[in-house]
Amino acid sequence: MPIWSPTPAACARPADRLAGLPDPALERLLRRWLGCGLLAVCLVPALRGSSEWIGWWPMWLVGMPLAAWWALHRFQLPPATATVLARGMRRLRPHRQARRRRPPAAPGLRRRAA
């Protein structure tokens, strides 16, 4: 019987964690496609240009496999990048909430007694 938790990842069993991993065959295919595409773009000057039918070759040989591989990993950032971004966001936020000041009273105006 599963135990309810507000954070299901905290009490997940190892089998549940493996279910979230990407398919190893698909990951291997995307890595090879990316590696071959990088090699082809670096070694064959004609593949740095574009085609009328296909478009810009480096996008299809390098950019799309890289985007597909990143999507396969659910758009996760590397741990170092995530911590740098978190630190930068903390610096941008002020520590205290700004408060409005009351406008100064006009010199000729006084409160009337009722």
Q: How far apart are CA 5 and CA 13, in angstroms?
A: 13
For 63-108, how does the pLDDT look when each residue is reduced to its tens digit (9 = 90+)? 999 999 888 887 776 666 666 666 666 665 556 667 788 877 766 6
With 0-12 / 13-18 / 19 or more C-beta atoms within 10 angstroms meaning exposed / middle / buried, residue 30 is buried
Q: Give me 55's structure tokens.
A: 């478009």
Prediction pTM value: 0.50
pLDDT grade for 114, boundaries at 50, 70 and 90? low
Q: How far apart are CA 82 and CA 72, in angstroms?
A: 18
